[in-house]
A and B are shown apart, each in its own frame.
Chain A
Amino acid sequence: MTERENNFPALLQRLKPQCEQIIAQYEHKRSAFLPLMHLFQRHEGFVSREAMEAAAEMVGTTPAEAEGTVSFYTLLYRRPVGKYMLQVCRGLACTINGAEDIMAYFREKLGIGHLQTSQDGLFSYEEVECLAACDRATCMQVNLEFVYDLTPQTIDAMLDAMRAGSYGVAPMAQTEAPDGTWQIPQDAQVAGGRKSPGATGVPQPDNAGGVGDPSGVIMLDNIINRNILRFTGTRERAVIDSRAVVERVDEEGTRAGH
C-alpha cells in the first residue's frame, strides 16, 4: 500500500503530457475528467483516491465532485480489482439463452459471487447489464474485450488459460498487491454490493462504503467499531451485532452524542 502511494507522484509525472493532451481536446477542461479517469485506471488497475484528486485539480473541480462523478459510472473501479475483470452479460436476450446457467457455472468455478474478487487476486467477477451483443448470446467481456457464445467448455479453457498466464487478453494493471484481504464475504452478503465492482473486495476495512455499501451497514459498522463502543471483536461479529448495538444506542439515547 505504501509502495503505491510512493509511486503515484511518479506515475502522475509520467502521464502529465498525456493528460494535457486530453484536456486540450475540449473547450471546457472538466470534460476531460472521464478520459483522465480511464487513463489512470489503465495504469493503476483502478481509480485511486490520489488519481481522483489529481484529476480534479487538473480539470478545476473539487475532490468531492470528482468522487461523486466516478461513483456514478460502473466501469470506474474505486477499489482494486483482479487481473481479469470477468463481466458476464445478464441482459434479457442472454438470459433467455441460458445466461443464468452460465453465471452459475462461473460462480461455481471461481468460488466467488457477483462483485467479488478471488482470494489470489486473479479474478474479479461481475454480472453486468446488456452488452449489446445479443446475437452472440451468451456473451461477456474480459477486461473489456468481448467473448461470445459462451459454453462451459469455452469457459473452462478460458479460465485455465488465465491461470496459466497464457490468455490472449492483457491483464489489468496491478499496482496494489493483494495481501490476502481481497475478499470479505460478510460485507458482500450484507451490503448486497449493487453497483460498482471492486466495492466488496475491500482491501482497507476502514474504508467506508459508498456505492458498494447501499445499506450503510459497513459504514455503521465502522462507526460502531471505532467511535461508539470501541468494539474490538472480529469484523464478522461486528457486522452481525450491529443491529443489536443500534437498538441499545437508541435505548440509551444520548450515549453516542446523538
Chain B
Amino acid sequence: MPVTKVLTAGIGEVDLRSIDAYRQRGGYKQWERVVRELQPVDVLNIVEKSELRGRGGAGFPTGRKWSFLPKDKNVRYLVCNCDEAEPGTFKDHMLLEEVPHLVLEGILVGAYAIASHHAFMYIRGEFQRGYEIFCAALEEARNAGYLGQNIFGTGFDLELTVHRGAGAYICGEETAMLNSLEGKRGEPRLKPPFPAVEGLYSKPTIVNNVETLAYLVPILEHGPEWFAAVGTERSKGYKIVSVSGHVQKPGNYEIALGTPVREIIELAGGLRPGRTLMAVQPGGGSSACIFEEQLDWPYDYESMAKAGSMLGSGAFVVFDDTTDFVNCAYNLVRFFAHESCGQCTPCREGGSWMERVLERLVHRRGVPGDYEMLLRIAGSITGLNLCPLGDSIEPFLKSVMLRFPDRFQERIVAAPEAQPA
C-alpha cells in the first residue's frame, strides 16, 4: 500500500517553514492565480466539484457550508479552526508546525472564496510553538505582499488575525470558538442561527478546520476532478489519519478515503509482536469502537457510520489485548466531564456522575447495578445538549461495555454497605 502524500509531501524530508522553501515547491502560486484570475464563485464551484468534506470531525461538505452565507451581506469572516484537542488527533499540530505556509495559503484561498476581508486563525493555547511558527510565516507572507491591502494590485484586501486559545476543548466547537474569539467564556451557542448566518460579532462566519482549508491548495492546483477521483462514492479525496495507541509506528498517515481499516493499521507498523487486536477507535474520543469483524471495511464517512461509529477527525487509536477497557472508558468519560462547559444539565451532571461510577469500577469497588446504571445515564445524556460534547460521552463507553461486559461486571463487588457515588 503506497503512502499518498499531498499535504504531508516533503514533511520530514525538507524544512518547509521558510517562505522560500515553500515557494520552491510551488507555494503561493494558487493564491496568486485565485486572486488574479478567479472570482470567489469560481473557487466555490471548484470546491463543490471536488466534493471536499470538512476534515475537522463533522464531515460536512465544505462547498455547501459556504453556500449558506447570505448573499446580501458584505461583512463576512473566515475562522480557521486549529483548536485540535480531540483525544487521539494530532494532524493539525503537525500541519501547523511543519507546513505553516500551506495552512496559511489555504486560509487565504478560503477567505477569498467566501469574499471575506478578515480571517482569523484560532490556535489552541497549548500550541505555543506552533503559534510562533505560524506567526513567523504570516510575517513573511505579509512582507511578500500576499495579504494586506490591494493584494497583487487587484484591489482585494485581506487581513488575518492569529488568536490563541487558553485551554478549553470545547472551543473546538464552532460557536464556542466564536464566543472565545469575542473574548468570552467558550460556551457553545444555541443553534440556529448557524454561524454562516450569524457568527462572529453577529456577522456571517464560516469556521473551517486546518486540514480542510489546506486541501484547497492542492485541489486548485490539480483540479477538482483529481480530488474527486479518489475515495469512495460519497467520501472523496485524501485524509490525514492520526494513528496512535498499540501500533509499532504511530504517526500521521495520509490515505485515500476508503482505504481498509486493516491497511491503516499495517501502515502504522501493525501491532507489537505477539499481540492481538481488541478494538479500534476510528474517529477520536467521541467515536465508538469498531472491532475485528470490521477490519476489512473501508475507512470512509459512510462505512464508519454504518459500523456505528464515525470517521470524525481521523484520530485512529488501536487497542491490543493488554488494554484495560474499564480504565479507558473511565479516562474518556473523565475527559468529557472535565471539558464540559457546564451549560446543559445532562452533560454537566451526567458526565461527572458517570465519572464517579467508573472510577469505583476501576478500583474494583463497583456496586450491583452499576453496569445498568451507566448505560442508562449514558443514554439519557445523548441528544439533550446544545452542542455535541454531551453526545460524545456515550459512544465509546457503550461500545466497549456491550462488547466486553465481563470486564465491567467482574469489578462489581457485592457489598451491602457500599454507598452510591
Is this pair of chains taken from one and the same complex? yes
Interface residues, chain A, with chain B CB atoms under 8 Å away: 25-28, 30-35, 37-38, 59, 61, 65, 68-69, 72-76, 90-93, 95-97, 129-137, 141, 144-146, 194-195
Q: Which residues of B contact A129 (CB under 8 A)?
A: 85, 87, 169, 335, 338-339
Q: Which residues of B contact A76 (CB under 8 A)?
A: 166-167
Q: Which 6 interchain pairs have the tightest Cβ spacing?
A: A75-B167, A33-B183, A73-B166, A134-B244, A74-B167, A30-B183
Report the separation of the CA atoms of residues A129 and B284 in the bound assembly, to the nearest whole angstrom: 13
How far does the Cβ of B22 sit from chain A's closest Cβ, in whole Å? 23
By CB atoms of chain B within 10 A, which of A27, A72, A95 has the most?
A72
Contact A34 B183 (CB under 8 A): yes
Contact B245 A132 (CB under 8 A): no
Contact A146 B129 (CB under 8 A): yes
Q: Which residues of A contact B250 (CB under 8 A)?
A: 93, 134-137
Contact of B124 among A27, A132, A135, A145 (CB under 8 A): A132
Given contacts A34-B166, A75-B126, A135-B250, contact A130 B86 (CB under 8 A): yes
Contact of A96 among B93, B201, B246, B341 (CB under 8 A): B246
Number of residue pairs across A and B with beta carbons under 8 Å? Answer: 144
Q: Which residues of A contact B184 (CB under 8 A)?
A: 30, 33, 65, 69
- The stretch that binds A, out of B30-38, B148-156, B157-165, B379-387, is B157-165
Contact of A30 among B127, B182, B332, B335 (CB under 8 A): B182
Whether B212 sits at the interface, judged by CB under 8 Å, is no
Q: Which residues of A contact B167 (CB under 8 A)?
A: 73-76
Report the separation of the CA atoms of residues A30 and B93 in the bound assembly, to the nearest whole angstrom: 27
Q: Which residues of B contact A93 (CB under 8 A)?
A: 87-88, 244-245, 250, 317
Whether B89 sits at the interface, judged by CB under 8 Å, is yes
Contact B85 A92 (CB under 8 A): no
Whether B39 sits at the interface, judged by CB under 8 Å, is no
Interface residues in B319-378 (C-beta closer than 8 Å to A): 319, 322-323, 327-328, 331-332, 335, 338-339, 341
Report the separation of the CA atoms of residues A75 and B181 in the bound assembly, to the nearest whole angstrom: 16
Q: Which residues of A contact B246 (CB under 8 A)?
A: 96-97
With both beta carbons as reference points, the residue of chain B lying nearest to A27 in the complex is identified as: B201
Contact B182 A28 (CB under 8 A): yes
Contact of A95 among B161, B328, B341 (CB under 8 A): B328
Q: Which residues of A contact B163 (CB under 8 A)?
A: 31, 34-35
Whether B50 sits at the interface, judged by CB under 8 Å, is no
Q: Which residues of A contact B182 (CB under 8 A)?
A: 28, 30-31
Contact A90 B331 (CB under 8 A): yes
Q: Which residues of A contact B125 (CB under 8 A)?
A: 38, 73, 75, 144
**Contact mask B163-207 → A, CB, 8 Å, 1/0?**
111111100000000001111111100000000000001000000
Q: Which residues of A contact B211 (CB under 8 A)?
A: none
Contact B85 A34 (CB under 8 A): no
Q: Which residues of B contact A37 (CB under 8 A)?
A: 166
Whether B67 sits at the interface, judged by CB under 8 Å, is no
